[in-house]
Amino acid sequence: MATNFPTPDKAGVTYPQDYSLKALTLLTPSIGAFDLKASFIEMSYFEDIFSNTVTGRLIISEAEGFIEKFHLTGNEYIRVIFTKASDKNFDINILFRVYKISDRMLVGNMTTEGYVLYFCSEELVLSEQYKISKSYPSTKISDIVSDITTNYLKVPKNKLVSIEPTRGIYDFIVPNFKPFEAINWLATYAQSDTSNVFGADMLFFENKYGFNFASLQTLFSQPIYRTYSYQPKNADKNSQTQDDKFYSVLSYKFMNTVDTLGAINSGQFANQLITVDPLLQRYITTDFNYSKYFEKSASLNKYPIVNGAQNRFGHAVYETPQAVIKMTAGNHGQKDVPFIGDKPGSYAHDIFAEVFIPNRTAQLSLSNYNKIKLVIDGDPGAAAGTTINFNLLSMTPRAQDKKPDDFYSGKYLISAVKHTIKIDGYTTVLEIVKDSTIKQYVTPNNGSTIWQNTVKGII
């Protein structure tokens, strides 16, 4: 089940940092609606696929005593509507709950007060207020997530964008967990029912469109929202297109690039699970091999992030599962044993530990193996969970042209977004991740004379 977000309309944009702050309204019991646009210094808005809800903060400077005047207690709401393009699909239009006031101090001429209002989705506050203690026999995980969001959090239908169907029938008892705590716990077991998706990489998150329960691989398969390019400051401005000017990357920073040792220690390339069944008195060993996984899983780009170079023992990094070993109880195959399966109620539904533990251990880490922070002119259409193309210019010297980098350009997933609006402009910071490359890394001929003499002969 794909999560399809709208495509951009560029109409109505004049300058790269243009924005239209349509509403910044404080809603209080004492006075009703009050416009904060004349009093704000900075407004920041955050989305992250590894966070359940959208959050933000508002820096205020005022000389009218709003905190006292409006009886602010942390039970207020803020309506935020801002955009850049004319298409209403790209408005960010969300009602938030104020939950914190901090950094309150006198500024300027000592008659002006500054402070920060922190806000979040209403569902985050609700999730902290209630707990769930409920049995879910013979139920799909996606149905449990649907029940929690609909009946325990009362998420409005227009905010529940997608709950991707999951495979497998489970018997769960939610043991007095908070709603989001329960969903995150269930997500670790969940496997997408989409045919070309493998493993256990489900996430529950909110973006500007609403709440999503989706597989990383499903997000990878989405159409590309937009292509961003880094344009050096000394580039020929006359050759820039309208898209270049409005959607060029102002700066970038690599947060994660290559870390083979870290990948080995976290089980990204290889790990091993030992499941012990105390009832049947047996154990099952399951190995995760990145190379085999990549062949059957959906990825952002065509080629894997590591080559097949072998160590002195003749093993590639994905061929040593003993690097990370986990152990847990399992119940796989109990129903197939005659003296158990013949008695109804004598066994529970398979929890598929052999699938979700080795794969989830690797998948969440692999999705962040390459991570870049981009600073761009404000783009309200950029949302966590959408895909983009990033053209990073190659640093290899060439006579006239500059081509995209062979390994760090390509399709990326936006994992996090920060929109920041100030009086003088609007910028967006994107954290983008990818699990693959557009060009294949060279794998040495491990048995060749050159490789033996130059490398293996040395080590």
Query: Does 228 score more than 60 pLDDT?
Result: yes
Query: Is 54 within a domain?
Result: yes
Residue 380 lies in a domain: yes
Q: Are residues 293 and 309 in the same domain?
A: yes
Average pLDDT, the chain: 88
1 assigned to some structural domain: no
In terms of domains, do 266 and 340 share one? Answer: yes
Output the pTM of the full model.
0.89
> pLDDT tens digits for 352-371?
999 999 999 999 999 999 99
Give the end of a domain, one of 342, 366, 390: 366
The dihedral sign for the CA sequence 28, 29, 30, 34: positive
Q: Are residues 275 and 341 in the same domain?
A: yes
Per-residue pLDDT, 223: 95
10-33 pLDDT, tens digit each: 444 455 567 888 999 999 998 899
Question: Residue 404: what pLDDT?
Answer: 86
Residue 458 lies in a domain: no
24 and 48 co-located in one domain = yes
Tell me the three state secondary structure of residue 217: helix
CA distance 370 to 408: 8
Q: What is the total count of domains within the chain?
A: 4
Same domain, 246 and 185: no
pLDDT bracket for residue 348 (50, 70, 90): confident
Strands 77-83 and 92-107: antiparallel
Phi, psi angles (nearest 5°) of residue 154: 55, 45
Structural domain ending residue among the three candidates 61, 91, 122: 122
* 394-422 per-position pLDDT tens digit: 887 664 566 888 999 999 999 999 999 99
Q: Are residues 362 and 383 in the same domain?
A: no
Buried b (16+ CB within 10 A) or exposed e, 220-234: bbbeebbebbbbeee
Q: State whether the Cα torsion 240-244-250-255 is positive or negative.
A: negative
Q: How far apart are CA 436 and CA 305, in angstroms?
A: 5
Assess whether 159 and 177 both reside in one domain: yes
The reply to whether 159 and 112 lie within a common domain is no
Place of tokens 């033996």: 452
* Residue 360 confidence (pLDDT): 95
Same domain, yes or no: 198 and 231: no
Same domain? For 400 and 418 the reply is yes
Same domain, 196 and 214: yes
Rounded mean pLDDT, 259-285? 93
Domain coverage including residue 384: 225-256+367-434
Instruction: Measure the CA angle with vertex 226, ends 225 and 229; round to 5°.
Output: 155
In the prediction, which pLDDT does 91 show? 83
Percent of the chain with pLDDT over 90: 69
pLDDT digits (tens, 9 = 90+) for 132-171: 999 999 999 999 999 999 999 999 999 999 999 999 999 9
Say whether pLDDT at 58 is over 90.
Answer: yes
Residue 407 in any domain: the answer is yes
The yes-or-no verdict on residue 271 having pLDDT over 70 is: yes
Residue 10 domain-assigned? Answer: no
CATH at 191 = 3.55.50.10
Site of tokens 């947060």: 255
Question: The domain that contains 234 carries what CATH number?
Answer: 2.40.30.150
- Does 3 reside within a domain? no
**Is 448 inside any structural domain?**
no
What share of the chain has pLDDT > 70, as a percent? 86
